[in-house]
Structure 1
Amino acid sequence: MVLTSATVDYPIVIEDDLIREELIIDVPLVMEPVQWRECCIYKVPKKLRQVNKEAYTPKLISIGPFHHGEKDLRGENGLRDEENENVRRDMEMLKVRYFKDFCYRTGKCQKEIARIIEENEVKIRHCYAEISKLNSEDFVKMVLLDSTFIIELFLKNDAKKEHEEDYILSKPWLKEGVEQDLMLLENQLPFFILKELYDQISYSEKNNEISFLDLACRYFSVSKLKIQDGKEVKHFTDLVRYSYCPSIQYTKGRAITNLYSATKLYGAGVMFRNDEESQSRLLDIQFKKLPFLKIFPCFDISWFLNCLPCLKCFPCFERMQTLLKVPTLIIDGGTEICFRNLMALEQCHYPSESYICNYVVLLDCLIDTSEDVDLLVKEEIIANALGSNEAVANMVNKLSHEIVENNSCYDDLTQDLYTHYNQGCNHNMASLRSIYFADVWRGTATIVGLIVFGFTFWNTIRPYVIK
C-alpha cells in the first residue's frame, strides 16, 4: 500500500442569492493498493473462505508469511487443540533439523544460504498480495527455514530408500497431510526462490542431474510434459493447476447456463465414454458426433452396440454413436481441498483462463443427484473413493458456490449437447434403446421377436402374393 501525506485542496463554491461560501475539502493522495508484477500468492477471498474455511487452512505445517506463527492450525484426524499445538511445534522443530541436514548436504553455512534470500527479499515480498508485518530479519529467517525444508523434503522423497526412517516419509498419514498443505494457495513460497536456492548451491553430481522442477513434479506426482512451453511456474498451487489445464485449444465463450444433467443427456442418446488416451488431461472433454447423425439421428447404432458390446472394438461402429468423451476423475478425501485452492487461484490470478472453474461448473451441471453419479461411475468417468454416490453429488454441487464465471471454454460443447437434447428424434431413439435394447438378453429377445413377427407376417400374406 503506497500512502502519501500530501493533500489537494478542492474549492467548492456554493452560490446563492444571499450566500456565497467557499468550502475547502482536504483529500489525501491515497493510491490504490499496489499490484506488483510478481504478485501471485493471495489470501483467499472472504466469500470463498466462508463456504469452507478448512479447505484453505494448513493442517500440519505453515509455509510463508500468511500463516506464520499461527497456533490454530487444523489438527489431523480430529486432534484436540493441545495435540494440534504439539504437532505444530514438532513441525517447526523439524524445519530446523531439515535446515541442518541441508547445510550438511551442501557444505554451506547459514550466512551463505541466507545471502541469496536477502538479495531477493524485495522480490519475494512483492509476490504476496498482502504486505507482511515481519521485519527484514524475521522474514529472511522464515523464508530460509521454509525453503530449505521444502528442498530437503523433496530430495529425501526422491531417494526414499535412503530415508525410510524419516519422520515424515515413514508415516503415510503425515506424508499425505504435508503434501496437501504444500499445495494450498495461502501456504506458498515463490517458486523462483526455491529454484534459485537449489541451483546456486553446489550439490553432488548425482543431484545435479535433476532440476528442481523435476523434483517438484515427482513429489506432487505431476508429469513435467504437462507444463506448457513458455509457462512460468509461480508456486506449487500453480504447478498443480498446470497439470490439469487442457491440451485442446478451446474457444472461450459464454458462461454455462443451459446444460442438462448426465441422466437426462443419457436419456437423449448421449453415450458417456472414458477417454483412455494416455496424453489426455482431466479437462480434455470432447463431444463426438458425425455430421450426418445430426441430420439422420436414426442411424445412431448405440442400441445395437448395447446388444453386441463386442462390436465396440471396431472404430467404425464406435463412431456411429453420439459420444461425450471425458477423462476419469478420481474423487477422494483430498479432491475438494485441491479443487477449491485451484479455483481460488484462478479467481484471483487467472480470471480470463479459469479452466478449473469452467470444469467444476460443467461437472456441477452434469451432476444433480446421486443417480447422475451412478451413471458416471458405471461409465468409469468417476472413480469414487469418497464413499457413497450421494456424498460425491453433494461435494460437487457445493464446489462452485461463490465462483464467478464470466466465460467458459466449454461453451461450444454445451451448446452442441443442448441442441442434441432438444431434438425429439434423439429421445425416441434413446427410448428404443432403453426399452428394447437395454442389455444383451433384452436386445436378443427383441431381435428374435422381430424375426418371428416377420415370418408370421410373411406366412400370412404369402398366399395372396404367390399364386
Structure 2
Amino acid sequence: MVNDLNLRLEMAVSGDSVIINIEGLAHSIEEMMSPDSLVLPKSCIFKIPNILYRQNEKAFIPDAFSFGPLHHDGNPNLKAVEKIKLQYLQCLISRLHTSEIGKKMVIDLIKAIKEVEKEARQYYAESIEYTPEEFVKILLIDGCFIIELFRKDAYEELREKDDPIFTMSCMLQLLYHDLILLENQVPWIVLERLFNMTKQQTHTESLLQLAIQFFGTTFSATPPTKILPLNDIKHIVDLLRKWLVSSIKEEENNSEYWEVMPSATGLVEAGIKFVKATSESILDVKFNDGVLEIPPLLIQETTETAFRNLIAFEQCYTDCEAWLTSYALLIDNLINTTKDVDILCESKIIHSWSNRKEVVQFFNKLYHNTYVKTFYYGRLCNNVNGYCNSRWPRWLAVLVRNYFNTPWALLSTLAAIILLILSFLQTLYTIKC
C-alpha cells in the first residue's frame, strides 16, 4: 500500500529491481513545466526547426553581426563587430546631447528597455539564460545600432567620414543578410522605444518608413513608392512579411480544392501570355482573360536568405497565413526547366544575378518540408487550368506559333489570305457575268 509521496516504487525489469523516487521525479517534471521552459503565446522569435535548417544552413546563420541573445555568445567570429555597435551608440548619444547629459541619456534608455524586459523576453521561444541586466544590455546596444543604421542609410549627413558600415562595400551586404534572420531578431517594441527616445524633430520619417526604405530592394529592383501603415509588428522579419502581404489588393484567391498548373512553357503553348505587373508586392499575382500578371522579382545574393526566413516564420508562428510559402509553391509550379526561366526573364518578371540552372534549383527546393494549410493561389491555378483546357486558346496559340512567329511569316500569311479573297471575288464576278 502507498503511505506517502516518499515511497519507492519497485518494478521488475529483466529480473532486476529498479527503484524510482516518485517525489523527486514529480519535482523534476514540475520544473520542466515551469513558464520559463514552455513556448509562450507571445513567442515570435524561434530557433529554426532542423527539418528547415538542413535545407541550407547558411541561410539561417549570421555572417558577421549577431542581434539579440540567441547568437550573442555562440560564435567568436561575430565578436569582431561589437566595437562598431558601440561606435554607433556613441555617435547617437553625442549627436543628441553634450557628454554630461549624454550619460543621463544612456540611463534613460536603460530604464526604458528595463520596463519592457520581461515582455521582450517572452518574444523568444527559447529560454533566455542571460540575467535581466545582461539581456537589457544586449537589447540596448543592438537596438541602438539598428535604428542608427536605418537613419544613416536615409540621411547621408549623419554618416561620419570614416563610418565603417558605409565606407566598406561588404558591410551593407553582410547586414542585409544578418538583419533578416529569424534567429537574429530584436523585438520591435525595443526598437520603437529607442527610436522614439532618440528622434530629432528635423527627421520626420517613422521607424517603419526607414526600415522599409532600407530593405526596399530586397525583392525588387524598384524601391517602394508608398508605405502602408502596419500594426502589431513583432520584429524586422514580421515587418517585411506584413509589408508584402499588405500591398496585395484585396481579393479572395484561395480554394480548398486546386490542381497543379502547367509550367511556364506549357502555359505559353496553351495560349497564355505572361505580363510584368505593376504591383509593389511580389505576392500580387493575377490572372484574367488569358493573361498572367506577375510582379517582377529580383533574385540576388540575399534572396534565398529572405525567402527561407520568411517561410520559417510562417511555419513557426501561431495562425500565420502562409503567403510566402504559397508564393514559393506557385513559382515552383511555373519553373521546371531553364526554358521556363527564359520565358519569365523575357517577360521581365524575373531579374536574376544567377544562371538559369541555379534559378530552377532555387525554386524547386524553396518550399520543401513545409506545410500549407491554405494555398492562397488555389483559385488562380484553377482558373488558369480551366483556360488551358478550353480548345480555342490552344488552337490560337498553335496558329500564332506556326504561322505568325516572325514578321515575314505574318506578311506571307496575310498575302496568301488577300490573294485567296481576290481569287474568290474574281471567280464570283466571272460566274455572275
1:287 aligned counterpart, secondary structure: strand
In structure 1, the partner of 2:17 is: none
Does structure 1 residue 210 correspond to structure 2 residue 192? no
Q: In 2, distance between residues paired with 1:138 and 1:255?
A: 51
Query: 1:150/1:427 Cα in 2 relative to 1: closer, same or farther (>3 Å)?
Result: same
Q: What whole-Å deviation, never above 9, does each CA across 1:167-195 have from its counterpart, x for those lacking one?
A: 00112321121122112111110011111
Matched, 1:329 2:325: no
Residue type at the aligned position of 2:171: L
Aligned partner of 1:16 in structure 2 is: none
Q: 1:61 aligns with which of 46, 57, 65?
A: 65
Unaligned residue ranges in structure 2 (runs of 5+) = 10-21, 217-222
Q: Give the corresponding residue for 1:349.
A: 317
Letter in 2 for 1:268: A
Name the amino acid aligned to 2:331.
L
Structure-1-length-normalised TM-score:
0.78
Asked whether 1:423 is paired with 2:390, we answer yes
> How many residues align structurally?
395
Distance in 1 (alpha carbons) for counterparts of 2:92 and 2:157: 18
Which residue matches 2:96? 106
Structure 1 pair 177–256 and aligned structure 2 pair: CA distance change class (3 A): farther
Check conservation: 2:253, 2:380, Cα contact below 8 A: no
Superposition pairs of residues 267-346 of structure 1, within 5 angstroms: 267-276=269-278, 279-289=279-289, 322-346=290-314
Q: Are 2:262 and 1:260 equivalent residues in the alignment?
A: yes
1:357-386 residue CA offsets vs partner (Å, 9 max, x unmatched): 111100000011000011111111111222
CA RMSD of aligned residues (A): 2.6
2:177 to 152, 176, 180: 180
Shift in Å at residue 58 of structure 1?
0.9
Matches within 5 A, 1:58-457: 58-71=62-75, 85=77, 88-107=78-97, 108-109=102-103, 110-163=106-159, 164-201=161-198, 203-207=199-203, 209-221=204-216, 223=224, 225-229=226-230, 231-245=231-245, 246-254=248-256, 257-276=259-278, 279-289=279-289, 322-349=290-317, 351-386=319-354, 388-457=355-424
1:256, 1:359 → 2: CA distance? 15
**Structure 1, 375-384 or 209-218: larger mean CA deviation:** 209-218
So what's the TM-score if we normalise by structure 2? 0.84
Q: Supply the AA of the counterpart residue of 2:249.
A: S
Distance in 1 (CA, whole Å) between partners of 2:317 and 2:249 is: 20
In structure 2, C-alpha distance between the alignment counterparts of 1:91 and 1:287, rounded to whole Å:
47
Does the C-alpha gap of structure 1 residues 228 and 441 become closer, same or farther in structure 2, counting only changes over 3 Å? Answer: farther
Q: Which one of the candidate residues 39, 50, 54 is aligned to 2:54?
A: 50
Whether contact under 8 Å (1:64, 1:142) holds in the other structure is yes
The answer to whether the 8 A contact 1:217-1:224 is kept is no
The 1-side partners of 2:309 and 2:171 are apart by 20
What is the alpha-carbon distance in structure 1 between the residues aligned to residue 268 and residue 282 of structure 2?
Answer: 21
CA deviation vs aligned residue, 1:396-440 (integer Å, no higher than 9, x gap) = 111111121121111111001111112233322211111111232
Tell me how far 1:160 sits from its aligned partner: 1.7
Contact 2:109 2:197 in 1 (8 A): no
CA distance in 1, matches of 2:257, 2:95: 52
Structure 1 unaligned regions, length at least 5:
1-6, 12-23, 73-84, 290-321
Structure 1 range deviating more: 377-386 or 212-221: 212-221
CA distance change for structure 1 residues 274 and 210 in 2, over 3 Å: closer, same or farther? closer
Distance 2:320 2:66 in 1: 30
User: C-alpha distance in 1, partners of 2:149/2:368?
Assistant: 35
Q: Which amino acid aligns with 2:125?
A: A
Q: Offset of 1:151 from its aligned partner?
A: 1.9
In structure 2, distance between residues paired with 1:160 and 1:228: 25
Given residue 244 of structure 1, which amino acid in structure 2 is its aligned partner?
A: L
Equivalent pair of 2:44/2:317 in contact (CA under 8 Å): yes
Say yes or no: does 1:41 pair with 2:41.
no
What amino acid is the match of 2:297? L
Measure, in 1, the Cα distance between the counterparts of 2:94 and 2:317: 38
Deviation at 1:355, TM superposition (A): 0.8
Mean Cα displacement is larger for which, 32-41 or 153-162? 32-41
Deviation at 1:256, TM superposition (A): 5.4
